[in-house]
Structure 1
Protein backbone atom coordinates (compact mmCIF):
# COMPACT_ATOMS: atom_id res chain seq x y z
CA UNK A 1 0.00 0.00 0.00
CA UNK A 2 2.82 2.34 0.88
CA UNK A 3 4.60 1.50 -2.31
CA UNK A 4 1.44 2.15 -4.31
CA UNK A 5 0.96 5.57 -2.67
CA UNK A 6 4.59 6.51 -3.28
CA UNK A 7 4.33 5.47 -6.93
CA UNK A 8 1.12 7.46 -7.30
CA UNK A 9 2.82 10.55 -5.81
CA UNK A 10 5.78 10.24 -8.14
CA UNK A 11 3.48 9.90 -11.15
CA UNK A 12 1.60 13.01 -10.08
CA UNK A 13 4.80 14.99 -9.71
CA UNK A 14 5.97 13.78 -13.09
CA UNK A 15 2.72 14.82 -14.73
CA UNK A 16 2.91 18.21 -12.99
CA UNK A 17 6.45 18.77 -14.21
CA UNK A 18 5.52 17.92 -17.78
CA UNK A 19 2.53 20.22 -17.65
CA UNK A 20 4.71 23.38 -16.95
CA UNK A 21 5.82 25.14 -20.10
CA UNK A 22 6.92 28.61 -21.13
CA UNK A 23 3.99 30.74 -22.16
CA UNK A 24 4.81 33.36 -24.80
CA UNK A 25 2.09 35.90 -25.46
CA UNK A 26 2.92 37.80 -28.64
CA UNK A 27 0.57 40.64 -27.67
CA UNK A 28 2.51 41.25 -24.47
CA UNK A 29 5.80 40.86 -26.32
CA UNK A 30 4.79 43.44 -28.94
CA UNK A 31 3.74 45.87 -26.21
CA UNK A 32 7.00 45.44 -24.34
CA UNK A 33 9.07 45.94 -27.49
CA UNK A 34 7.22 49.04 -28.65
CA UNK A 35 7.36 50.67 -25.22
CA UNK A 36 11.07 50.04 -24.74
CA UNK A 37 13.03 50.28 -27.93
CA UNK A 38 11.28 49.42 -31.17
CA UNK A 39 9.04 51.52 -33.40
CA UNK A 40 5.49 52.30 -32.42
CA UNK A 41 4.28 50.00 -35.18
CA UNK A 42 0.52 50.21 -35.49
CA UNK A 43 0.55 47.01 -37.58
CA UNK A 44 1.66 45.02 -34.54
CA UNK A 45 -1.24 46.01 -32.34
CA UNK A 46 -2.90 42.67 -31.75
CA UNK A 47 -5.38 41.15 -31.63
CA UNK A 48 -6.66 42.33 -35.01
CA UNK A 49 -10.26 43.19 -35.75
CA UNK A 50 -10.51 40.09 -37.91
CA UNK A 51 -12.94 39.42 -40.72
CA UNK A 52 -15.55 42.17 -40.85
CA UNK A 53 -14.39 43.28 -37.42
CA UNK A 54 -15.97 40.34 -35.70
CA UNK A 55 -13.02 39.28 -33.57
CA UNK A 56 -14.29 39.51 -29.95
CA UNK A 57 -10.76 39.69 -28.56
CA UNK A 58 -10.16 42.87 -30.57
CA UNK A 59 -13.26 44.52 -29.15
CA UNK A 60 -12.45 43.40 -25.64
CA UNK A 61 -8.92 44.80 -25.92
CA UNK A 62 -9.33 48.00 -27.96
CA UNK A 63 -12.96 49.02 -27.69
CA UNK A 64 -12.27 51.38 -24.79
CA UNK A 65 -8.96 52.62 -26.27
CA UNK A 66 -9.59 53.28 -29.98
CA UNK A 67 -6.87 55.96 -30.26
CA UNK A 68 -4.17 54.12 -28.36
CA UNK A 69 -2.46 52.55 -31.41
CA UNK A 70 -2.26 56.01 -33.04
CA UNK A 71 -0.51 57.70 -30.09
CA UNK A 72 3.22 57.08 -29.67
CA UNK A 73 3.74 56.67 -25.94
CA UNK A 74 7.37 55.58 -25.99
CA UNK A 75 9.49 57.47 -23.42
CA UNK A 76 12.30 57.66 -25.95
CA UNK A 77 10.02 58.27 -28.93
CA UNK A 78 10.36 61.34 -31.17
CA UNK A 79 8.17 63.37 -28.79
CA UNK A 80 8.43 61.14 -25.74
CA UNK A 81 8.91 62.65 -22.27
CA UNK A 82 12.43 61.29 -21.94
CA UNK A 83 13.37 62.64 -25.37
CA UNK A 84 11.92 66.04 -24.45
CA UNK A 85 13.82 66.00 -21.18
CA UNK A 86 17.08 65.27 -23.01
CA UNK A 87 16.34 68.02 -25.52
CA UNK A 88 15.58 70.49 -22.73
CA UNK A 89 18.74 69.44 -20.92
CA UNK A 90 20.78 69.99 -24.09
CA UNK A 91 19.12 73.38 -24.63
CA UNK A 92 19.84 74.40 -21.04
CA UNK A 93 23.43 73.24 -21.40
CA UNK A 94 23.79 75.33 -24.55
CA UNK A 95 22.28 78.32 -22.74
CA UNK A 96 24.67 77.79 -19.84
CA UNK A 97 27.59 77.71 -22.25
CA UNK A 98 26.44 80.97 -23.85
CA UNK A 99 26.08 82.61 -20.43
CA UNK A 100 29.48 81.29 -19.38
CA UNK A 101 31.07 82.64 -22.55
CA UNK A 102 29.41 86.00 -21.97
CA UNK A 103 30.53 86.03 -18.32
CA UNK A 104 34.09 85.07 -19.29
CA UNK A 105 34.11 87.84 -21.87
CA UNK A 106 32.94 90.35 -19.29
CA UNK A 107 35.53 89.07 -16.83
CA UNK A 108 38.36 89.32 -19.35
CA UNK A 109 37.21 92.78 -20.39
CA UNK A 110 37.02 93.87 -16.76
CA UNK A 111 40.48 92.49 -16.03
CA UNK A 112 41.87 94.19 -19.12
CA UNK A 113 40.29 97.51 -18.17
CA UNK A 114 41.45 97.13 -14.57
CA UNK A 115 45.02 96.48 -15.66
CA UNK A 116 44.72 99.37 -18.10
CA UNK A 117 43.60 101.85 -15.44
CA UNK A 118 44.96 100.44 -12.19
CA UNK A 119 47.94 102.21 -10.67
CA UNK A 120 48.88 99.04 -8.81
CA UNK A 121 50.13 97.55 -12.09
CA UNK A 122 51.78 100.68 -13.48
CA UNK A 123 55.21 99.45 -12.33
CA UNK A 124 54.80 96.37 -14.54
CA UNK A 125 53.96 98.34 -17.68
CA UNK A 126 56.32 97.07 -20.42
CA UNK A 127 57.01 100.57 -21.76
CA UNK A 128 57.89 101.80 -18.28
CA UNK A 129 60.14 98.81 -17.64
CA UNK A 130 61.93 98.96 -20.98
CA UNK A 131 62.25 102.71 -21.58
CA UNK A 132 60.92 105.30 -19.15
CA UNK A 133 62.37 103.81 -15.97
CA UNK A 134 65.88 104.05 -17.44
CA UNK A 135 65.28 107.56 -18.75
CA UNK A 136 64.03 108.77 -15.35
CA UNK A 137 66.80 106.99 -13.45
CA UNK A 138 68.63 110.25 -12.74
CA UNK A 139 65.50 111.79 -11.25
CA UNK A 140 64.38 108.72 -9.31
CA UNK A 141 67.77 108.09 -7.72
CA UNK A 142 68.74 111.74 -7.28
CA UNK A 143 70.60 112.54 -4.05
CA UNK A 144 70.62 116.25 -3.16
CA UNK A 145 73.91 115.90 -1.30
CA UNK A 146 75.65 114.80 -4.50
CA UNK A 147 74.40 117.54 -6.78
CA UNK A 148 77.57 119.60 -6.27
CA UNK A 149 80.01 116.71 -6.38
CA UNK A 150 82.99 117.30 -8.64
CA UNK A 151 82.90 121.08 -8.25
CA UNK A 152 85.39 123.21 -6.40
CA UNK A 153 84.54 124.93 -3.14
CA UNK A 154 84.25 128.31 -4.88
CA UNK A 155 81.91 126.91 -7.49
CA UNK A 156 79.77 125.21 -4.88
CA UNK A 157 79.61 128.40 -2.83
CA UNK A 158 78.57 130.41 -5.87
CA UNK A 159 75.76 127.98 -6.82
CA UNK A 160 74.48 128.00 -3.23
CA UNK A 161 74.72 131.78 -2.74
CA UNK A 162 73.00 132.61 -6.01
CA UNK A 163 70.12 130.21 -5.29
CA UNK A 164 70.75 128.07 -8.37
CA UNK A 165 71.08 124.96 -6.24
CA UNK A 166 67.77 125.63 -4.46
CA UNK A 167 66.12 126.36 -7.80
CA UNK A 168 67.22 123.03 -9.24
CA UNK A 169 66.15 121.15 -6.11
CA UNK A 170 62.68 122.68 -6.17
CA UNK A 171 62.21 122.02 -9.87
CA UNK A 172 63.47 118.43 -9.71
CA UNK A 173 61.43 117.64 -6.58
CA UNK A 174 58.28 119.06 -8.17
CA UNK A 175 58.90 117.01 -11.30
CA UNK A 176 59.51 113.87 -9.22
CA UNK A 177 56.30 114.45 -7.29
CA UNK A 178 54.34 114.81 -10.53
CA UNK A 179 55.92 111.59 -11.82
CA UNK A 180 54.91 109.68 -8.68
CA UNK A 181 51.38 111.04 -8.93
CA UNK A 182 51.15 109.87 -12.55
CA UNK A 183 52.33 106.40 -11.49
CA UNK A 184 50.01 106.11 -8.47
CA UNK A 185 46.81 107.62 -9.88
CA UNK A 186 44.05 105.51 -11.47
CA UNK A 187 44.48 106.64 -15.04
CA UNK A 188 44.11 105.37 -18.57
CA UNK A 189 47.33 103.80 -19.79
CA UNK A 190 47.50 106.07 -22.82
CA UNK A 191 47.15 109.18 -20.66
CA UNK A 192 49.76 107.82 -18.26
CA UNK A 193 52.24 107.24 -21.08
CA UNK A 194 51.62 110.75 -22.47
CA UNK A 195 52.28 112.16 -18.98
CA UNK A 196 55.56 110.23 -18.88
CA UNK A 197 56.48 111.63 -22.28
CA UNK A 198 55.81 115.25 -21.31
CA UNK A 199 57.65 114.97 -18.00
CA UNK A 200 60.61 113.28 -19.66
CA UNK A 201 60.95 116.24 -22.03
CA UNK A 202 60.83 118.61 -19.03
CA UNK A 203 63.38 116.52 -17.14
CA UNK A 204 65.80 116.55 -20.06
CA UNK A 205 65.40 120.31 -20.44
CA UNK A 206 65.92 120.83 -16.69
CA UNK A 207 69.00 118.55 -16.62
CA UNK A 208 70.52 120.31 -19.62
CA UNK A 209 69.94 123.70 -18.00
CA UNK A 210 71.52 122.55 -14.72
CA UNK A 211 74.57 121.11 -16.47
CA UNK A 212 74.92 124.30 -18.48
CA UNK A 213 74.81 126.44 -15.36
CA UNK A 214 77.42 124.28 -13.64
CA UNK A 215 79.73 124.46 -16.65
CA UNK A 216 79.44 128.25 -16.84
CA UNK A 217 80.22 128.80 -13.17
CA UNK A 218 83.93 128.14 -13.66
CA UNK A 219 84.10 130.57 -16.58
CA UNK A 220 82.20 133.25 -14.70
CA UNK A 221 84.40 132.90 -11.63
CA UNK A 222 87.53 133.16 -13.79
CA UNK A 223 86.22 136.36 -15.37
CA UNK A 224 85.28 137.82 -12.00
CA UNK A 225 88.69 136.92 -10.56
CA UNK A 226 90.47 138.58 -13.48
CA UNK A 227 88.36 141.71 -13.15
CA UNK A 228 89.04 141.87 -9.41
CA UNK A 229 92.78 141.56 -9.98
CA UNK A 230 92.69 144.38 -12.47
CA UNK A 231 90.68 146.56 -10.12
CA UNK A 232 92.98 145.90 -7.16
CA UNK A 233 96.11 146.49 -9.24
CA UNK A 234 97.48 143.00 -8.91
CA UNK A 235 97.57 142.92 -12.66
CA UNK A 236 98.62 146.15 -14.36
CA UNK A 237 95.91 147.51 -16.49
CA UNK A 238 97.18 147.60 -20.05
CA UNK A 239 97.03 150.85 -21.88
CA UNK A 240 94.85 150.09 -24.76
CA UNK A 241 92.11 151.60 -26.72
CA UNK A 242 90.11 148.40 -26.51
CA UNK A 243 86.59 148.58 -25.20
CA UNK A 244 85.42 146.70 -22.16
CA UNK A 245 83.66 144.15 -24.39
CA UNK A 246 86.88 143.44 -26.29
CA UNK A 247 88.80 143.10 -23.04
CA UNK A 248 86.22 140.62 -21.71
CA UNK A 249 86.45 138.60 -24.90
CA UNK A 250 90.24 138.46 -24.62
CA UNK A 251 89.94 137.23 -21.04
CA UNK A 252 87.53 134.53 -22.11
CA UNK A 253 89.89 133.36 -24.81
CA UNK A 254 92.76 133.15 -22.34
CA UNK A 255 90.62 131.24 -19.83
CA UNK A 256 89.77 128.69 -22.50
CA UNK A 257 93.45 128.18 -23.21
Structure 2
Protein backbone atom coordinates (compact mmCIF):
# COMPACT_ATOMS: atom_id res chain seq x y z
CA UNK A 1 0.00 0.00 0.00
CA UNK A 2 2.86 2.30 0.82
CA UNK A 3 4.49 1.71 -2.64
CA UNK A 4 1.23 2.47 -4.43
CA UNK A 5 0.87 5.78 -2.65
CA UNK A 6 4.47 6.68 -3.49
CA UNK A 7 3.91 5.92 -7.19
CA UNK A 8 0.76 8.02 -7.29
CA UNK A 9 2.59 10.87 -5.64
CA UNK A 10 5.42 10.78 -8.20
CA UNK A 11 2.92 10.61 -11.05
CA UNK A 12 1.06 13.61 -9.70
CA UNK A 13 4.27 15.60 -9.50
CA UNK A 14 5.34 14.66 -13.03
CA UNK A 15 2.06 15.51 -14.78
CA UNK A 16 2.25 19.28 -14.26
CA UNK A 17 5.82 19.26 -15.51
CA UNK A 18 4.89 17.29 -18.62
CA UNK A 19 1.86 19.42 -19.46
CA UNK A 20 3.79 22.56 -18.65
CA UNK A 21 6.52 21.93 -21.29
CA UNK A 22 6.33 24.24 -24.26
CA UNK A 23 7.94 23.86 -27.71
CA UNK A 24 10.86 26.21 -28.13
CA UNK A 25 10.82 28.12 -31.42
CA UNK A 26 14.10 29.87 -32.05
CA UNK A 27 14.12 31.68 -35.39
CA UNK A 28 17.89 31.99 -35.36
CA UNK A 29 18.29 28.21 -35.16
CA UNK A 30 15.58 27.63 -37.76
CA UNK A 31 17.07 30.15 -40.19
CA UNK A 32 20.55 28.67 -39.74
CA UNK A 33 19.24 25.16 -40.43
CA UNK A 34 17.46 26.38 -43.55
CA UNK A 35 20.56 28.22 -44.73
CA UNK A 36 22.93 25.33 -44.18
CA UNK A 37 20.66 22.64 -45.60
CA UNK A 38 18.59 23.69 -48.56
CA UNK A 39 17.67 27.36 -48.74
CA UNK A 40 19.44 30.44 -49.96
CA UNK A 41 22.02 32.13 -47.73
CA UNK A 42 19.80 35.08 -46.87
CA UNK A 43 21.65 37.83 -45.04
CA UNK A 44 18.36 39.45 -44.05
CA UNK A 45 17.34 36.53 -41.88
CA UNK A 46 20.21 36.69 -39.41
CA UNK A 47 18.81 37.36 -35.94
CA UNK A 48 19.13 39.26 -33.76
CA UNK A 49 18.91 42.11 -36.23
CA UNK A 50 21.02 45.25 -35.91
CA UNK A 51 18.00 47.41 -35.23
CA UNK A 52 17.74 51.15 -35.65
CA UNK A 53 21.17 52.62 -36.46
CA UNK A 54 22.76 49.33 -35.43
CA UNK A 55 22.02 50.10 -31.79
CA UNK A 56 20.63 46.70 -30.84
CA UNK A 57 22.96 45.41 -28.07
CA UNK A 58 21.93 41.78 -28.69
CA UNK A 59 23.15 42.11 -32.26
CA UNK A 60 26.55 43.29 -31.15
CA UNK A 61 26.76 40.59 -28.49
CA UNK A 62 25.95 37.94 -31.11
CA UNK A 63 27.80 39.17 -34.22
CA UNK A 64 30.30 41.61 -32.78
CA UNK A 65 33.12 39.09 -32.60
CA UNK A 66 32.55 37.82 -36.16
CA UNK A 67 30.78 40.50 -38.21
CA UNK A 68 31.67 38.87 -41.56
CA UNK A 69 29.79 35.69 -40.79
CA UNK A 70 26.48 36.83 -42.36
CA UNK A 71 28.34 37.88 -45.52
CA UNK A 72 30.08 34.52 -46.01
CA UNK A 73 28.04 31.78 -47.69
CA UNK A 74 28.88 28.61 -45.74
CA UNK A 75 26.40 26.26 -47.36
CA UNK A 76 28.02 22.95 -48.50
CA UNK A 77 26.17 23.24 -51.82
CA UNK A 78 26.82 26.94 -52.33
CA UNK A 79 28.49 28.00 -55.60
CA UNK A 80 31.87 27.79 -53.85
CA UNK A 81 30.95 25.38 -51.07
CA UNK A 82 32.99 22.26 -50.24
CA UNK A 83 30.33 19.87 -51.50
CA UNK A 84 30.02 21.79 -54.77
CA UNK A 85 33.79 21.77 -55.16
CA UNK A 86 33.88 18.06 -54.44
CA UNK A 87 31.19 17.38 -57.05
CA UNK A 88 33.04 19.55 -59.53
CA UNK A 89 36.26 17.69 -58.79
CA UNK A 90 34.46 14.37 -59.26
CA UNK A 91 33.13 15.52 -62.65
CA UNK A 92 36.56 16.76 -63.68
CA UNK A 93 38.15 13.45 -62.64
CA UNK A 94 35.44 11.56 -64.49
CA UNK A 95 36.07 13.55 -67.66
CA UNK A 96 39.81 13.02 -67.26
CA UNK A 97 39.22 9.29 -66.76
CA UNK A 98 37.02 9.17 -69.87
CA UNK A 99 39.72 10.98 -71.83
CA UNK A 100 42.35 8.50 -70.66
CA UNK A 101 40.03 5.61 -71.49
CA UNK A 102 39.38 7.00 -74.97
CA UNK A 103 43.10 7.49 -75.52
CA UNK A 104 43.83 3.94 -74.32
CA UNK A 105 41.09 2.51 -76.56
CA UNK A 106 42.48 4.44 -79.50
CA UNK A 107 45.96 3.07 -78.84
CA UNK A 108 44.53 -0.43 -78.49
CA UNK A 109 42.60 -0.21 -81.76
CA UNK A 110 45.63 1.25 -83.52
CA UNK A 111 47.83 -1.52 -82.15
CA UNK A 112 45.36 -4.19 -83.25
CA UNK A 113 45.15 -2.64 -86.72
CA UNK A 114 48.93 -2.46 -87.03
CA UNK A 115 49.25 -6.01 -85.74
CA UNK A 116 46.71 -7.29 -88.25
CA UNK A 117 48.58 -5.45 -91.01
CA UNK A 118 51.94 -6.88 -89.90
CA UNK A 119 51.32 -10.51 -88.92
CA UNK A 120 51.40 -12.93 -91.82
CA UNK A 121 49.05 -15.39 -90.12
CA UNK A 122 46.08 -13.13 -90.88
CA UNK A 123 47.20 -12.01 -94.34
CA UNK A 124 44.30 -13.97 -95.85
CA UNK A 125 41.87 -11.51 -94.23
CA UNK A 126 43.35 -8.54 -96.05
CA UNK A 127 40.54 -6.89 -98.09
CA UNK A 128 42.75 -6.36 -101.15
CA UNK A 129 43.82 -10.00 -101.11
CA UNK A 130 40.25 -11.23 -100.73
CA UNK A 131 38.81 -8.97 -103.44
CA UNK A 132 41.56 -9.06 -106.07
CA UNK A 133 44.80 -10.97 -105.58
CA UNK A 134 43.23 -14.26 -104.44
CA UNK A 135 41.30 -14.43 -107.71
CA UNK A 136 44.33 -13.49 -109.80
CA UNK A 137 46.52 -16.12 -108.10
CA UNK A 138 43.85 -18.82 -108.15
CA UNK A 139 45.20 -20.49 -111.36
CA UNK A 140 48.63 -20.66 -109.72
CA UNK A 141 47.61 -21.84 -106.23
CA UNK A 142 45.10 -24.33 -107.63
CA UNK A 143 47.19 -25.39 -110.61
CA UNK A 144 46.51 -28.87 -112.01
CA UNK A 145 49.73 -30.15 -113.58
CA UNK A 146 47.87 -32.81 -115.53
CA UNK A 147 45.72 -30.21 -117.30
CA UNK A 148 48.64 -28.25 -118.74
CA UNK A 149 48.55 -30.26 -122.00
CA UNK A 150 44.77 -30.49 -122.29
CA UNK A 151 43.37 -29.62 -125.69
CA UNK A 152 46.57 -30.55 -127.56
CA UNK A 153 47.16 -33.40 -129.99
CA UNK A 154 49.42 -36.31 -129.16
CA UNK A 155 52.26 -35.05 -131.34
CA UNK A 156 52.09 -31.63 -129.74
CA UNK A 157 52.15 -33.13 -126.22
CA UNK A 158 55.12 -35.30 -127.12
CA UNK A 159 56.90 -32.32 -128.61
CA UNK A 160 56.42 -30.18 -125.45
CA UNK A 161 57.53 -33.03 -123.22
CA UNK A 162 60.51 -34.03 -125.34
CA UNK A 163 61.81 -30.49 -125.56
CA UNK A 164 61.57 -30.01 -121.77
CA UNK A 165 59.11 -27.13 -121.98
CA UNK A 166 56.65 -28.85 -119.63
CA UNK A 167 59.30 -29.41 -116.98
CA UNK A 168 60.48 -25.85 -117.42
CA UNK A 169 57.00 -24.44 -116.81
CA UNK A 170 56.40 -26.71 -113.80
CA UNK A 171 59.66 -25.64 -112.17
CA UNK A 172 59.06 -21.95 -112.79
CA UNK A 173 55.45 -22.05 -111.56
CA UNK A 174 56.50 -24.02 -108.46
CA UNK A 175 59.15 -21.41 -107.66
CA UNK A 176 56.62 -18.58 -107.99
CA UNK A 177 54.10 -20.48 -105.86
CA UNK A 178 56.67 -21.02 -103.10
CA UNK A 179 57.62 -17.34 -103.14
CA UNK A 180 53.95 -16.40 -102.87
CA UNK A 181 53.45 -18.73 -99.89
CA UNK A 182 56.54 -17.32 -98.16
CA UNK A 183 55.31 -13.78 -98.76
CA UNK A 184 51.89 -14.54 -97.27
CA UNK A 185 53.28 -16.14 -94.10
CA UNK A 186 56.10 -13.66 -93.46
CA UNK A 187 55.67 -10.86 -90.89
CA UNK A 188 56.00 -7.57 -92.72
CA UNK A 189 54.29 -4.29 -93.33
CA UNK A 190 51.05 -4.47 -95.31
CA UNK A 191 52.37 -2.10 -97.97
CA UNK A 192 55.45 -4.26 -98.55
CA UNK A 193 53.27 -7.37 -98.79
CA UNK A 194 50.97 -5.71 -101.36
CA UNK A 195 53.99 -4.64 -103.44
CA UNK A 196 55.25 -8.22 -103.26
CA UNK A 197 51.88 -9.49 -104.50
CA UNK A 198 52.03 -7.07 -107.41
CA UNK A 199 55.58 -8.07 -108.36
CA UNK A 200 54.92 -11.82 -108.18
CA UNK A 201 51.65 -11.43 -110.10
CA UNK A 202 53.54 -9.68 -112.91
CA UNK A 203 56.09 -12.51 -113.06
CA UNK A 204 53.34 -15.13 -113.09
CA UNK A 205 51.47 -13.38 -115.90
CA UNK A 206 54.69 -13.22 -117.94
CA UNK A 207 55.31 -16.93 -117.36
CA UNK A 208 51.73 -17.80 -118.22
CA UNK A 209 51.82 -15.79 -121.44
CA UNK A 210 55.09 -17.46 -122.47
CA UNK A 211 53.62 -20.92 -121.82
CA UNK A 212 50.46 -20.17 -123.79
CA UNK A 213 52.60 -18.90 -126.68
CA UNK A 214 54.64 -22.11 -126.68
CA UNK A 215 51.46 -24.19 -126.61
CA UNK A 216 50.03 -22.35 -129.57
CA UNK A 217 53.27 -22.47 -131.56
CA UNK A 218 53.93 -26.16 -130.95
CA UNK A 219 51.70 -27.11 -133.88
CA UNK A 220 53.48 -24.59 -136.11
CA UNK A 221 56.87 -25.96 -135.10
CA UNK A 222 55.75 -29.52 -135.91
CA UNK A 223 54.39 -28.53 -139.30
CA UNK A 224 57.62 -26.72 -140.17
CA UNK A 225 59.65 -29.72 -139.07
CA UNK A 226 57.59 -32.03 -141.27
CA UNK A 227 57.97 -29.68 -144.21
CA UNK A 228 61.72 -29.52 -143.74
CA UNK A 229 61.92 -33.31 -143.49
CA UNK A 230 60.01 -33.69 -146.74
CA UNK A 231 62.27 -31.16 -148.41
CA UNK A 232 65.36 -33.11 -147.35
CA UNK A 233 64.18 -36.48 -148.77
CA UNK A 234 64.26 -35.51 -152.53
CA UNK A 235 67.72 -34.05 -152.07
CA UNK A 236 68.86 -37.28 -150.50
CA UNK A 237 67.43 -39.29 -153.41
CA UNK A 238 69.04 -36.96 -155.95
CA UNK A 239 72.36 -37.25 -154.17
CA UNK A 240 72.26 -41.02 -154.19
CA UNK A 241 71.34 -41.03 -157.88
CA UNK A 242 74.18 -38.65 -158.68
CA UNK A 243 76.61 -40.82 -156.74
CA UNK A 244 75.47 -43.83 -158.75
CA UNK A 245 75.96 -41.94 -162.05
CA UNK A 246 79.43 -40.86 -160.99
CA UNK A 247 80.31 -44.46 -160.16
CA UNK A 248 79.15 -45.65 -163.60
CA UNK A 249 81.24 -43.00 -165.35
CA UNK A 250 84.28 -43.94 -163.30
CA UNK A 251 83.83 -47.61 -164.14
CA UNK A 252 83.47 -46.82 -167.82
CA UNK A 253 86.67 -44.79 -167.81
CA UNK A 254 88.53 -47.54 -166.05
CA UNK A 255 87.28 -50.17 -168.51
CA UNK A 256 88.34 -48.05 -171.50
CA UNK A 257 91.76 -47.50 -170.01
CA UNK A 258 92.25 -51.27 -169.68
CA UNK A 259 91.58 -51.71 -173.39
> What interval of TM-score do these two structures reach, taking the shorter chain for normalisation?
0.7 to 0.9
- Shift of the 12–178 alpha-carbon distance from structure 1 to 2, 3 Å rule, reads same
Is 1:97 the counterpart of 2:98? The answer is yes
- Shift of the 112–10 alpha-carbon distance from structure 1 to 2, 3 Å rule, reads closer
In 2, Cα distance between equivalents of 1:68 and 1:229: 130
User: Per-residue deviation at 1:44?
Assistant: 1.8
* Structure 2 residues without counterparts, runs of 5 or longer: 239-259
Q: Name the structure 1 match of 2:45.
A: 44
Please show how residues 20-99 of structure 1 align to structure 2 within 5 Å. 20-50=21-51, 55-99=56-100
Is 1:166 the counterpart of 2:159? The answer is no
In 1, Cα distance between equivalents of 2:169 and 2:198: 20
In 2, Cα distance between equivalents of 1:184 and 1:11: 104
Q: Name the structure 1 match of 2:125.
A: 124
In 1, Cα distance between equivalents of 2:7 and 2:165: 138
- Shift of the 64–219 alpha-carbon distance from structure 1 to 2, 3 Å rule, reads same
Q: Name the structure 1 match of 2:221.
A: 220
Q: Name the structure 2 match of 1:253.
A: none
In 2, Cα distance between equivalents of 1:135 and 1:217: 26
User: Per-residue deviation at 1:88?
Assistant: 0.7
- Shift of the 220–66 alpha-carbon distance from structure 1 to 2, 3 Å rule, reads same
Q: Name the structure 1 match of 2:249.
A: none
User: Per-residue deviation at 1:20?
Assistant: 2.0
User: Per-residue deviation at 1:91?
Assistant: 1.1
SS in 1 for 2:28: helix
In 2, Cα distance between equivalents of 1:105 and 1:115: 15
In 1, Cα distance between equivalents of 2:230 and 2:124: 56
The normalised TM-score by structure 2 is 0.74
* Structure 1 residues without counterparts, runs of 5 or longer: 238-257
User: Per-residue deviation at 1:53?
Assistant: 5.2
Cα RMSD, aligned residues only? 3.3
Moved more, 145-154 or 200-209: 145-154
User: Per-residue deviation at 1:169?
Assistant: 1.7
In 2, Cα distance between equivalents of 1:220 and 1:53: 129
In 2, Cα distance between equivalents of 1:218 and 1:46: 122
- Shift of the 36–228 alpha-carbon distance from structure 1 to 2, 3 Å rule, reads same
In 2, Cα distance between equivalents of 1:36 and 1:70: 17
Q: Which has the larger radius of gyration?
A: 2
- Shift of the 102–7 alpha-carbon distance from structure 1 to 2, 3 Å rule, reads closer
User: Per-residue deviation at 1:14?
Assistant: 5.4
- Shift of the 10–207 alpha-carbon distance from structure 1 to 2, 3 Å rule, reads closer
The normalised TM-score by structure 1 is 0.74
Q: Name the structure 2 match of 1:139.
A: 140
User: Per-residue deviation at 1:173?
Assistant: 1.5
In 1, Cα distance between equivalents of 2:93 and 2:83: 15
Moved more, 191-200 or 16-25: 191-200
Q: Name the structure 1 match of 2:205.
A: 204
